[in-house]
Structure 1
Amino acid sequence: MESVPSSDARDRRRLTNGVKQALRETTLRIAQLNHQVSGKLGLRDVDYDCLNLLNLHGPISPGALAKLAGVHPATMTGILDRLEKAGWVARDRDPADRRATVIVVHRERGGEVRALYAGPNAEMDDICAGYSPEQLATIIDFLQRAADVGLRATREL
């Protein structure tokens, strides 16, 4: 005989599906925003993605950036050439190994990006103000774990 899910199990499944649906919608909306920002900055979407990765993880080697971005190293060369020509990054010698190169972001250009995100960042501050520190910590944990799922799934593909 097949068991019928309890009301609690149905509610949990409904809420879990709601979280996944909201995360999909959020991901799409952020991708659209980033597309608009990259266009305003005169960058291709992949170039802007790499600039974001450099801001999060840099300075790093071109090979490490290619791996993080999920692009072929030859493709990364073109991306870095465009970012360097536009004045967003520089190729510097790795202080730990003078034969190696690291990519460094020109921080002075950050104001251009911050200006484009000023409105959404202020709205996010307002949203976060409505949550307790404990709730914010839970949201951070969830988002970090969800990002890890996305990273693992990307690597598996």
Structure 2
Amino acid sequence: MSTHARHRDTEDVEAYGARLGMEFSDAVVLFHEAIGSLMGLSAADHKALGIIRREGPMAAGELAQRTALTAGAVTGLVDRLEEAGLVRRTRDPVDRRRQVIEARASAPPEVRRAFEGLQRAMAGVTAQFADEELGVIDRWVRETTRVMRQQAAAIAQG
């Protein structure tokens, strides 16, 4: 058994979940901080850019909801992304009063290489698990993601 596995006699489910979640979160945040630094961005700026790229053009209010950031924080974030040439603000074709944020440039080559390396490494990790195990992992990640989003929204709402 791995030294990182839960020891049923000495660690309760809550402590195990907290420890596992913190270790995973630390690794993810530090990875994205490193990626962001390649682009001159913070991890939060980089992740917001990823949301815009994946989900397509959106209003600042939508980005605020997705990131659980305040409107003021999103304005500063979009200003930084726009200054870096990564997004642009355009007018909504339906409601000209509304501004839409859209991604401009693709990721720089060094960022693409970093993600390609991560994808190869994660393919190796994934290959170690049976389909049934991957189903459990998928369920854990989806539930953890849902909880994290709920908790971030609750914090943002005060």
TM-score bin, normalised by smaller chain: 0.7 to 0.9
1:146 matched residue in structure 2: 144
Distance 1:95 1:111, change over 3 A: farther
RMSD over aligned CA atoms reads 2.5
1:24-73 residue CA offsets vs partner (Å, 9 max, x unmatched): 20110111111111111111233213112223433211111122222221
Identity of aligned residues (%): 26
Code of the residue aligned with 2:111 in structure 1: it is V
Residue pairs, 1:1-157, within 5 angstroms: 11=8, 14=11, 16=13, 17-106=15-104, 108-109=106-107, 111-157=109-155
Unpaired runs of at least 5, structure 2:
1-6
Distance 1:41 1:13, change over 3 A: same
Q: TM-score, normalised by structure 1?
A: 0.79
Supply the distance in 2 between the matched residues of 1:75 and 1:62 (Cα, whole angstroms). 10
Code of the residue aligned with 1:53 in structure 2: it is I
Supply the distance in 2 between the matched residues of 1:143 and 1:107 (Cα, whole angstroms). 30
Unpaired runs of at least 5, structure 1:
1-9
The answer (yes or no) to whether the contact 2:29–2:43 under 8 Å persists in 1 is no
Higher relative contact order (CA 8 A, sep 6+): 2
Tell me the SS of whatever aligns to 2:40: coil
Code of the residue aligned with 1:65 in structure 2: it is L
Distance 1:68 1:138, change over 3 A: same
Distance 1:107 1:22, change over 3 A: same
Supply the distance in 2 between the matched residues of 1:128 and 1:111 (Cα, whole angstroms). 25
1:6 matched residue in structure 2: none
> Aligned residues, how many?
148
Distance 1:83 1:130, change over 3 A: same
Q: Which has the larger radius of gyration?
A: 1
Code of the residue aligned with 2:142 in structure 1: it is Q
Tell me the SS of whatever aligns to 1:42: coil
Tell me the SS of whatever aligns to 1:51: helix
1:100-152 residue CA offsets vs partner (Å, 9 max, x unmatched): 22211125336543222222221101011122333323312211111111111
Distance 1:67 1:36, change over 3 A: same
